[in-house]
Structure 1
Amino acid sequence: MTEGGAVLPWLVIRQDEGGNRYRVGRYATRAEAERVADRLETRGRQQLYVVEKADRAAT
């Protein structure tokens, strides 16, 4: 988003066992997105959380 809005180029994506991917959130920095992904992974669920840049994830 631009035009006075926040720029949130980093995505946290959850991928399930079937390969389905769901966007969990958008973040301003890679470090922030990685902290969120790490926190989600430690909750004990067997899910994969990845951090991707928004323009790369769209392709």
Structure 2
Amino acid sequence: MTTGPEATGPDTAGAEAAAWRVMRQDDNGNRFLVARGLGRAEAAALAQEFEARGHKQLYWTEREA
């Protein structure tokens, strides 16, 4: 699973309750929003599911502002 620094660092207060999104970067460097408004675990599971498909794209999670 590929995740952003917000998802791999130590837990901070409110991290689980915050909204998270899944992002994708294709092999040309273009970045796209895949899903938003997810819980942290749900976003991580979705990113892992997409990564497991074996495409060239890179997936990661980010906390929404």
The normalised TM-score by structure 2 is 0.65
Q: With CA pairs under 8 Å and 6+ residues apart, which has the higher RCO, 1 or 2?
A: 2
Give me the whole-angstrom Cα distance separating, in 1, the residues matched to 2:54 and 2:28.
18
SS of the residue 1:31 aligns to? helix
The normalised TM-score by structure 1 is 0.71
User: In percent, how many aligned pairs have the same letter?
Assistant: 46
Give me the whole-angstrom Cα distance separating, in 2, the residues matched to 1:40 and 1:20.
17
AA of the residue aligned to 2:42: E
Give me the whole-angstrom Cα distance separating, in 1, the residues matched to 2:59 and 2:38.
17
**Count of aligned positions:** 49
**Which of the two has higher C-alpha Rg?**
1
